[in-house]
Structure 1
Amino acid sequence: MLFVLIALWAIAAIIWLSDRRAPVNHWLGAVAFSGGAGALAAVLDLQWLPAAADAGMNEVARQLLYRLQAVSSLVSYYGLPYSFILFAIAYRPVRLSKRFQSLLPFLLLIPIVLCIVFTPFYTAVYPISFKIVVWWAVPYIMYGAVQVLLKRQLHASFSRTHWIICSAVLPPVMFCMVMNYVLPSFGMLRMWVYNTWIVGLGVTIFVIALFTYGFMGVRVNIDRRRYDSTLRAVTSGTAILNHAIKNDAGKMRLFSEKMKAYALATDQQELLADIETVLNASRHMQEMLQRVHRRTEDLVLRVEPTDLAALIGQTIKGYEPVLGQIKLQTSLSPGWNCRIDPAQVSEALGNIVANALEAMKGKGELSILLSETKRELIIEIKDSGPGMSKSEMAKVLEPFYTTKNGSDTNFGLGLPYAYHVMRKHKGLLNLRSKPGAGTSVYLTFPKRAVQAGKTVIHHEKGREASE
């Protein structure tokens, strides 16, 4: 049980720290914390209180441990179904009025308050009145499980999170429902001792998934720090290099122009040709460095109200002449106005589209979708190209890494630049790819961060209204 206590509270801390404001993370962390409270009560009951009695601990200290056990047990019994149903409602939102949504956590507390006030208080044998609590705790958990299972995944990039929740969260919660509420209501007490194995299995699945795929934004945060530090290093390095080479290239051009004037005055054609070669080389050197510097310099956003669907359509239009035999499909949810930097977002989107077109080599399908969830706007760019292996996927956001060979104009900065643009907008860039199955890139804008609002056309009145 000590392992379960440490594991569940560690998971709660990880989930809470990954995104404190997200209701899903808030309530899922509460589920893990409630389970950990139950493990603490079990450790106190099975180990610490008997050890305290054997060691001759004074009565006051033992009473404090007993009260801690009582509080931990009640937090677990009452907190688990309560936090789980609120997690499920946040995970698969229910259409309710804003006022009712704000009241819902308090309304769901009513059975708990009534049980605490009107049923016998905690005892070691009967910590709660099982025959009463079972009538609301089981419906809470069952409804929450149905909500989670009915969650419809709009995007493949989020399917892993759903799979992890269904594998790591639902089985332990459902098992605890039977052992903690159902069986004790029939007189089969202390069945919670069997929770250890199923909870341990859920923890194992969570930890493996956390380090393999990431969960609820946790691994993304780890990757963000790595990519951000890499981009900062590249930005600093290219800034220094740009300054040094620009000065030296300027000197080369200045003296080459003087020599060119002398060669023209003395009619030395061979010398003139050599000088032109040097001038072209210096110009090329400056141009290449400027391209790198523009892609790696720290971005300063110039946000303005922008119709996101119109911006996407305008960006795609510039690539239509080079589509060749590639079939383009678009589905853009109209009317979303956001405060973004249209130039930077268009450039980032263009880089991704250009990568997709180059990967497909003139044949295939390219689909670009703009869709919405309750809290986010998501641009999906999906190609039918050769896809990428796991090793390539792990490196593709690193500056100067590229899968394209034989090109002296590709520096492997397109995706890192797009990632940088999304980070500046407090958004995400996610990728999904398999060899032979193409690549999907997801640009996710939080509605709150970009102040997104949808414009609805009222045809009957011939005017527009903004939600």
Structure 2
Amino acid sequence: MLFVLFALWIIALLLLIIDPRSSTMRWMSAVAFTGGIGALAAVLSENIIPYVKQTIPNPSVSELLFHIQATSSLLSYYGLPYSFAMLALQYNPSWPNQKTRTFLPYLLLLPPIACILLTPGYTEVMPITFPIVACWVVPYIVTGAILIASRKERLPGMQRTHLFTCLALLPPILCFAVLNYVMPSLGYYRMWIYHTWILALVVPFLIFTFFKYGFLGMRLLIERRKLDSTLRAITSGTAIMNHAIKNDVGKMRLFLEKMKQYAEETNQPELMLDLDVVMGASMHIRDMISRVHEQTQELPIRVSPVNMEELLIEALQSLTPYLSKVKLSLTISKELTLEIDRIQIAETLTNVLMNAVEAMPLGGELTVKGFMAKKNVVLEIRDTGIGMEKAVLKQVLEPFYTTKSGSRNNFGLGLAYCYSVMKKHGGSLELSSETNKGTSVFLTFPGSRRLST
């Protein structure tokens, strides 16, 4: 049980550290904490209290530890089902309606409070009245599990994360309900001793899925924060570099002009040609760093109402020369209007559309559509081009990573810039791709940016 205690409390602490502002993370942390406090009650009962009774003759110490054990046990028996029910409501906000969700947390508290007040008190033999408590705990956990499993995800990255969240979370919580409530109700007590074996399987799986695929969206959150810090570092670095290089190039041009004038006066045509080459190289360096800086600088967004159908049509019209071999499908509501920065989103759309077209050099289908996903507005841009391998897909948002190595004008900042723009709008950019089948890019805007018609 000591392993269960430390494993669950470490998980609870990590969840709070990673994203303390997320209500989903807080309730998941509460589930792990209340599970761990149940393990604390078991450790006190099985190990600590018997040892204290043998070594410390003072009965008040044993009595204090017994009260801690009783409180911990009750907190686990009543707190974990409630925490899991609240986690399910936060994780899948599509049900129930907002009005019901306001008072439902208080309504769900009534059964555990009634059991605490009206059923017999804690004893080591019978800590709770199992048949009565099971009548509300089992519906809480089963309904919560169904609610979590039934969450719909349209974005590919979140679909995979949701799948592994269900695999890591639901089996142990259902086993907890059976071992801690159903079996004791049937007369089979102390079944909680098997939690050690269950967690011995679950914890390694949880660690693996967290680092490989993500859990409750945590891996995506960490990757996005890492990308954000990288973009900020690049923004600051290129600004400093751009300023320094401009100053040094200015000095070089001043002295090169003087040297060129001297070469003209002394009739040295070969030296003049060499100086022209050096001047051209210095200007090329300045232009290159300026163009990198333009793609990484932090531009503030200036929002205004923008009709998304009109903006997409404009972006597609600018690419007309490249669309001759492409079959285009555009599906979006004519009334869809968002509060966004028109210029930056137009540049983002152009970047993504151009990537899609370049992925289909021999022609193909380009599908552009807008739809609602829960409370968000999503634009999907899908091509039937060459696609990307998984290894490439993981890196395409990283600044300076590019698959277009043959282009001197490509710095690998296109998708990084698009990601940055979507982040500044409170949204996200996600990709899904299969080799030789095509790529889908999902631009997600928070529903708060949508203007009602």
User: What TM-score do you get using the length of structure 2 for normalisation?
Assistant: 0.88
2:189 alignment partner in structure 1: 189
**Is residue 67 of structure 1 aligned with residue 67 of structure 2?**
yes
Distance 2:396 2:195 in 1: 42
CA contact (8 A) 1:397 1:419 kept: yes
Q: 1:229 to 1:33 in 2, by over 3 A?
A: same
Residue 71 of structure 1, CA deviation: 1.8
Q: Is the 8 A contact 1:18 1:216 kept in 2?
A: no
Percent of aligned positions with the same letter in both sequences?
Answer: 48
Deviation at 1:393, TM superposition (A): 3.1
SS of the residue aligned with 1:128? coil
In 2, distance between residues paired with 1:159 and 1:354? 27
Instruction: Give the direction of change, closer, same or farther, for the CA distance of 1:255–1:222 in structure 2 (3 Å limit).
Output: same
Shift of the alpha carbon at 1:34?
2.3
Mean CA deviation greater in 347-356 or 282-291: 282-291
Task: Kindly indicate whether the alpha-carbon contact (under 8 Å) linking 2:231 and 2:296 is maintained by their aligned counterparts in 1.
Answer: yes
The residue number in structure 2 matching 1:413 is 413
Q: Which residue of 2 aligns with 1:25?
A: 25
The alignment status of 1:83 with 2:80, answered yes or no, reads no
The answer as to whether partners of 1:19 and 1:217 remain within 8 angstroms in 2 is no
How much has 1:268 moved relative to structure 2? 11
Matches within 5 A, 1:351-430: 351-430=351-430
Q: Which residue of 2 aligns with 1:212?
A: 212
The SS at the match of 1:121 is: coil
Question: Which amino acid in the other structure matches residue 364 of structure 1?
Answer: G
State whether residues 14 and 218 of structure 1, in contact with CA within 8 Å, keep that contact through their aligned partners in structure 2.
Answer: no
Q: 1:58 aligns to what?
A: 58
Q: Give the residue type in structure 2 aligned to 1:118.
A: L
The more displaced of 39-48 and 174-183 is 39-48
Letter in 1 for 2:215: F
- Judged with a 3 Å threshold, the aligned counterparts in structure 2 of structure 1 residues 67 and 335 are, in CA distance, closer, same or farther, namely farther
Alignment partner of 1:452 out of 445, 449, 452: 449
- Please name the residue that 1:118 is paired with: 118
Other-structure match for 1:47: 47
CA–CA separation in structure 1 for the residues paired with 2:130 and 2:312:
57
CA RMSD of aligned residues (A): 3.1
What is the Cα deviation at residue 281 of structure 1? 5.1
Conserved 8 A contact 1:19-1:25: yes
Distance in 1 (alpha carbons) for counterparts of 2:5 and 2:413: 45
Match for 2:33: what amino acid? F
307 and 46 in structure 1: CA distance in 2 versus 1, 3 angstrom threshold: farther
Task: Tell me if structure 1 keeps the 8 A contact 2:295–2:417.
Answer: yes
Q: Write the letter of the residue equivalent to 1:421.
A: V
Corresponding residue of 1:128? 128
1:209 shift after superposition: 1.0
User: Which residue of structure 1 aligns with residue 200 of structure 2?
Assistant: 200
Q: What residue ranges of structure 2 are gaps of 5+ in the alignment?
A: none
Question: Residues 11-32 of structure 1: CA distance to partner in whole angstroms, max 9, x if unpaired?
Answer: 2233334434444333333222
> Any residues of structure 2 matched to 1:202-351 within 5 Å, and which?
202-250=202-250, 283-333=283-333, 335-351=335-351
Matches of 1:58 and 1:336 in 2, distance apart? 74
- Asked if 1:179 is matched to 2:176, the reply is no
Q: What is the identity, as a one-letter code, of the residue corresponding to 1:407?
A: S
Unaligned 5+ runs, structure 1 = 457-467
TM-superposed deviation, 1:364: 2.5
Residue type at the aligned position of 2:125: V
Q: Residues 299 and 424 of structure 1 are in contact (CA less than 8 Å); yes or no, is this contact kept in structure 2?
A: no
Look up the match of 1:465: none
Amino acid at match of 1:19: D
- Code of the aligned partner of 1:68: I
Q: CA deviation at 1:172?
A: 0.7
Whole-angstrom CA distance in 2 between matches of 1:7 and 1:311 = 51
- Displacement of 1:114: 0.9
Shift of 1:74: 1.4
| Partner secondary structure for residue 406 of structure 1 | coil
Contact 1:210 1:218 in 2 (8 A): yes
SS of equivalent to 1:131: helix
Provide the rounded CA distance (Å) in 1 between the counterparts of 2:71 and 2:373: 39
Letter in 2 for 1:303: V
Q: What residue in structure 1 maps to residue 161 of structure 2?
A: 161
User: Secondary structure at 2:452's aligned position in 1?
Assistant: strand
User: CA–CA distance in 1 between the matches of 2:213 and 2:97?
Assistant: 35
**1:140 Cα offset (Å):** 1.4
* Match of residue 9 from structure 2: 9
What's the TM-score, normalizing by structure 1? 0.86
Supply the distance in 2 between the matched residues of 1:318 and 1:204 (Cα, whole angstroms): 51
Partners of 2:329 and 2:366 within 8 A in 1: yes
Tell me, in whole angstroms, the C-alpha distance in 2 between the residues paired with 1:210 and 1:68: 33
- 1:302–1:340 contact (8 Å) kept in structure 2: yes
Q: What's the offset of the Cα at 1:162?
A: 1.7
- Aligned residue type for 1:199: L
> What's the secondary structure of 1:442's corresponding residue?
strand
Q: Is the 8 A contact 2:162 2:216 kept in 1?
A: no
* In structure 2, C-alpha distance between the alignment counterparts of 1:106 and 1:280, rounded to whole Å: 73
Task: Quote how far apart the aligned CAs of 1:265 are.
Answer: 12
Structure 1 position 202, deviation (Å): 2.5
- Contact 1:427-1:443 within 8 A present in 2 as well: yes
Q: Residue 359 of structure 2 aligns to a residue in which SS?
A: helix
| Whole-angstrom distance in 2 between the partners of 1:16 and 1:309 | 41
- Once the 2 structures are TM-superposed, how far is the Cα of residue 272 of structure 1 from its aligned partner? 9.0
- The 3-state SS of whatever aligns with 2:148 is helix
Cα distance in 1 between the residues matched to 2:9 and 2:76:
12
Aligned equivalents of 1:334 and 1:22: distance in 2? 34
Look up the match of 1:149: 149
Amino acid at match of 1:7: A
Tell me the CA shift for residue 412 of structure 1.
0.6
Q: Give the direction of change, closer, same or farther, for the CA distance of 1:385–1:242 in structure 2 (3 Å limit).
A: same
Q: Deviations over 1:186-235 (max 9, x none)?
A: 11111111122223322222211111122233223432343233323322
Question: Do structure 1's residue 37 and structure 2's residue 34 form an aligned pair?
Answer: no
Alignment partners' CA distance in 1, 2:379 and 2:216: 19
Contact 2:148 2:166 survives alignment (8 Å): yes
Question: Is the contact between residue 15 and residue 216 of structure 1 (CA under 8 Å) also seen in structure 2?
Answer: no
Give 1:56 deviation, angstroms: 2.0
Q: Secondary structure at the match of 1:395?
A: coil
